[in-house]
Structure 1
Amino acid sequence: MTGTTDTAPLAVRAAAPPVLDEPSSASGLTWRALATADAAELAALVAVVEDADGVPYRTAVEEVVDELEAPWRDLSLDTRVGVDAEGRMRAWMSVDAPPGDESVVRVFLGGGVDPAWRGRGIGRELVRWATGRARQVLATCGKDAPARIATHAEDVATGTVRLYRAAGLTPIRYYTEMRRPLSGPLPPVPALDGLRVVPWSPELDDAVRLAHNEAFADHWGSEPRTAEQWAQGRSMFAPTWSFVAVDDSGEVAGYALSGRFEQDWDVAGYRSGYTELLGVRRAWRGRKVAVALLATVMRAYATDGMAYAELGVDTANPSGAHGLYAALGYEVAHSSTMLSIEV
């Protein structure tokens, strides 16, 4: 950036606009901030966008509520929704800065435009607004570390990828979603020396959070999760499909936490369980803890009539997770990309 160096404070590097212009109303939309009461209508718009983009999932209204109710977010500053003359939502955008970030301070962008209203420059206006707001968030976050303005885009949503790339975000990381059929033989659950796999419980939850922060400390793009972050966004959490590996003293060695995304099943054409978080602390790696957890999870899914086990993975995961999943029968189903501006 002009006038800055890599060692400049984040408040300088962020190059935040002192005044943030609202998205243009030239397209025929009127702009305002989102409110929690908008969740149902926003979820309906999100579904229309997801259908038009051909993504293989749907966002439930409960997930939208989770996002809007995150206690660290200021919806008045960090969200915008465009409504037409009849008051119907046609486009939205939000920025979200996870509060636990330490080594890299991140702001994530997310939004969309009703396909009937595309081609009018609305997406460009929203991304312009969002990147400006993200820079303001970074400049005032009170932290001084490398920073990132980022978004995730499904690779099938080519228009979305082009839009963000035109705004200066470039691909930085690639992810795949993998699935394994549960109709045939399942991998055996290996015996774990000094460990046992137990069902997740509320009493174990914070210990699992701390184990997750430790297990992912060496993973690109991962930052510690505060207790507040950990508790937020659990509307799809499936406790009976979630398991923890503990030693004889009850110390957590690894974990597999699952989600039940029933709204995706009609789109996908099958029922599935989704392993949202899987991790093993460094001291217990190389002892088949992840295999035991995944094999246990598969059995829980199959017992409840699921056709597939699913999970997502960073293709450059340093633990060799991609190869492990492939060896257990998981195959790539679809892919996505993280695009970013490094600040």
Structure 2
Amino acid sequence: MNQLSPIADRAAAPATLPSITAGSLSWRPATVEDTARLTAFNNTVAEADGAPYRETEAETREELGAAWRDLEHDTLLGFDDESELRAAALVGTAPGDTTTIRVFVFGGVHPSRRGEGIGREVLAWQLARARQILASSGKELPARIAAYAEDDDPASKHRLYTHAGFEPRRYFSDLKRPLTSDAPAVPEVELTGSLRLVPFSPELDDATRLAHNDAFRDHWGSQPQTMEQWTNGRSEFAPEWSFVVVDDAPDVGALLADETTDAGTRAALEAGDPLVVAYSISSRYAADFDVRGYSFGYVDVLGTRRAYRGRKGAIAALVASMRAFADSGMDAAVLDVDTENPSGAQGLYASLGYTKEHGSTMYSIEL
């Protein structure tokens, strides 16, 4: 493996951030009080671009209010002479990154102000700020600046990223599985041994986080989540649609002897805490129902601990969520998957009747 140069050298952060002059907008950092106007702005952009989603004010407030968010330095809002929001930028990192430090950039320009060069200058500001965040992180790790674009976004957005030095790095598929009466029945999945399917509960929340961190540690781009990250962004969370699988009699000795068992799981095992081995955590994004033309339950995260793969834990949790969606009168089940998922998820979802509806691309600059 090549020796990495210091993160400060790789990031090549500028001492000052570039000014944004295109469009003659007035710029200032965002605050939580901007929740309503930023939500309306984001939804206007999403509608213009044909995005398959809309935001709620609760979602925006959670994004702006995350404890690790530095709104003063990592956000910009651009207003016209009538004080109407016409452009927005957010740059953010996550506190749990341990093997790759990542900075994500989000933003947009109001449809009425496109073509003036605002987007290019906003992205240049975001990249400069992202490099500053990386340089000051103190984490001597591989680094990544990332951005996302829907496949149906304007071609200009994809070109904007590639012209700025981003490369398409990962592809995601948004999958749908009908649940109406004329759809195939949701299959039964029987667990064996000491595995038991149970509804999600707050008492199992941290154990589920530990299972997620273990399940995704060999997934490209994934990093461990702190409890603060894990519980952020739950305004649309549907605990009644979420399920976990626990092992009532885990081989504690074998797990403790496994050098890949993470410190959090070790501590939980030594304390005799429940061991969650698989999970399906779901949300109700009702604001998207009219946009998509049908109601649905959405599986936010699904996974199985590495030591438990092949024992149908995640399948059992997923089909339990699917049944809960159907029992609530939802028309479909929806989820998003990395097309190169190492656990073979694509084949699993296809076998359950999921088909692709939308797609997106993650662009990145690797440092």
State the TM-score, normalizing by the size of structure 2.
0.90
**Number of the residue aligned with 2:80:** 84
**Corresponding residue SS for 1:27:** helix
Mind listing any 5+ residue stretches in structure 2 that lack a counterpart?
250-273
Picking from 303, 316, 320, the partner of 1:279 is 303
| 2:126 aligned to which of 115, 130, 153 | 130
1:234 aligned residue: 234
In 2: Cα distance, 1:125 partner to 1:41 partner: 22
Distance in 2 (alpha carbons) for counterparts of 1:300 and 1:189: 15
Deviates more, 1:305-314 or 1:56-65: 56-65
User: Out of 14, 17, 23, which is 1:17 matched to?
Assistant: 14
> Are the aligned partners of 1:83 and 1:89 in contact in 2 as well (CA < 8 Å)?
yes
Match of 2:252 in 1: none
Shift of 1:7: 2.2
Other-structure match for 1:323: 347
Q: Give the distance between the partners of 1:193 and 1:272, measured in 2 at CA.
A: 33
The number of residue pairs the alignment matches comes to 338
5 Å-filtered alignment, 1:22-61, equals 22-24=19-21, 26-61=22-57
Q: Distance in 2 between matches of 1:217 and 1:200?
A: 22
- Is structure 2 residue 190 aligned with structure 1 residue 166? no
User: 2:291 & 2:3 partners in 1: Cα distance?
Assistant: 45
Q: Give 5+ residue unaligned stretches, structure 1.
A: none
- The Cα offsets for residues 188-247 of structure 1, whole Å up to 9 and x where unpaired, read as 132333211101011100111111111101110000001111121111111100001012
Which residues of 2 match residues 195-274 of structure 1 at below 5 A? Answer: 195-249=195-249, 250-274=274-298
Q: Could you tell which deviates more after superposition, 56-65 or 45-54? A: 56-65
Alignment of 1:85-124 (within 5 A): 85-124=81-120
Counterpart of 2:364 in structure 1 is 340
**Structure 1 residue 295: Cα displacement:** 1.1
Q: Report the Cα offset of residue 287 of structure 1.
A: 1.1
After superposition, give the CA deviation of every residue in 1:171-196 in whole Å (9 maximum; x if it has no partner).
00000010100122111132333211
Q: CA deviation at 1:23?
A: 1.5
Matched with 1:293 is 317
How far, CA to CA, are the matches of 1:192 and 1:95 in structure 2? Answer: 45
**In 2, Cα distance between equivalents of 1:289 and 1:210:** 15
The 8 Å contact of residues 215 and 280 in structure 1, kept in 2 or not, is answered as: yes
Supply the distance in 2 between the matched residues of 1:115 and 1:265 (Cα, whole angstroms).
23
Q: State the TM-score, normalized to the length of structure 1.
A: 0.97
Superposition deviation, residue 294 in structure 1:
1.2
Q: Displaced runs of 4+ in structure 1, greater than 4 A?
A: none
1:6, distance to aligned residue in structure 2 (A): 5.9
Q: Secondary structure at the match of 1:62?
A: helix
